[in-house]
Amino acid sequence: MATTPTSPDPSPDPDALAPAFSPLYQQIKGLILRSLQAGEWKPGDMIPSEFELAARFRVSQGTVRKAIDELATDNLLVRRQGKGTFVATHAEQHIQFRFLRLLPDQGTLDDQGPAERRIIDCRRLRAPAEVARPLGLRSGDAVLQVRRVLAFGGTPAILEEIWLPGGPFKGLTLDTLASDTGPMYALFESRFGVRMVRAAEKIKAVAADADAAQRLSVPEGHPLLSVERLSYTYNDTPMELRRGLYRTDARHYRNELS
């Protein structure tokens, strides 16, 4: 590790086509990532200082810094000057809505108070094919399905259907969810050790069917935003499939392009 920066790290797979050359700081990044996955440092924890990590990995502080820089821009770590570097968590006020992009058309911030949550049901099912595939499961594997409605100021705004793999979320019940206040992703961290790191969404415009119309208090056929989200944990492992129907009469989905 202290030799040339691009040492391929004596690995198996000698006849592989992959170049597998990577800069030292990328290797360090990988090592830190492994510690995160292994739970050596939990969400909210402070990780060792840059100098400590530099000593542990036998590299200079600047190299550790660059690794941490990237992990911080990926939102896996949070740097706080004068205090230390911390494992990112969903249990923070200003991070609450990192994955919820629905904002009111009017009005300043989302200081309309938090969303009111009403859980419809929470069932243990066998995964249909179209749910199993994106989650990397096999059809028929055990999954949890949660359905709920989010409302703002008494007006229903979101109808969601959440699919979770049965293994990692063993023990999740309606009571667990109902008795919990705070972000659902924070619950996943504290109770199941599952941290959502990134997500991809597919958005369409659809017409409300009878059930959705009733639950969202709109006429049948009313245009709704369909948001299908696949969320990933550390190793790009998909861990949640979420289908949401958003009312967009008084709200909009905000997106920044750059």
**Residues that bind DNA in the complex, under the rule CB under 7 A:** 2, 4-6, 21, 23-26, 47, 49-52, 59-63, 65-66, 79-85
148 or 242, CB closer to a second copy? 242
- What's the full length of the chain, in residues? 258
Residue 4 partner contact from a second copy, DNA, none using kind-dependent CB cut-offs of 5 to 8 Å: DNA
Residue 24 partner contact from DNA, a second copy, none using kind-dependent CB cut-offs of 5 to 8 Å: DNA
Q: Is the dihedral of CA 164, 167, 172, 177 positive or negative?
A: negative
59 or 127, CB closer to DNA? 59
- The C-alpha atoms of residue 182 and residue 38 are separated, in whole angstroms, by 25
Residue 207 partner contact from DNA, a second copy, none using kind-dependent CB cut-offs of 5 to 8 Å: a second copy
Task: For Cα atoms 64, 232, 192, give the angle at the middle one, nearest 5 degrees.
Answer: 90
Residue 170 partner contact from a second copy, DNA, none using kind-dependent CB cut-offs of 5 to 8 Å: none
In this structure, the number of other CB atoms found within 10 A of the CB of residue 234 comes to: 17
What distances in angstroms separate CA 216 from CA 99, 149, 158, 162, 207, one per listed residue?
Answer: 21, 8, 7, 17, 12
| Shortest spacing between CB 138 and a second copy, in angstroms | 22
Is the distance from CB of 172 to CB of 179 less than 8 angstroms? Answer: no
List interacting residues with a second copy (CB under 8 A): 73-75, 98-99, 101, 197-207, 221, 223-226, 229, 246, 248, 252-258
| Shortest spacing between CB 49 and DNA, in angstroms | 3
In this structure, the number of other CB atoms found within 10 A of the CB of residue 6 comes to: 14
32 or 239, CB closer to DNA? 32
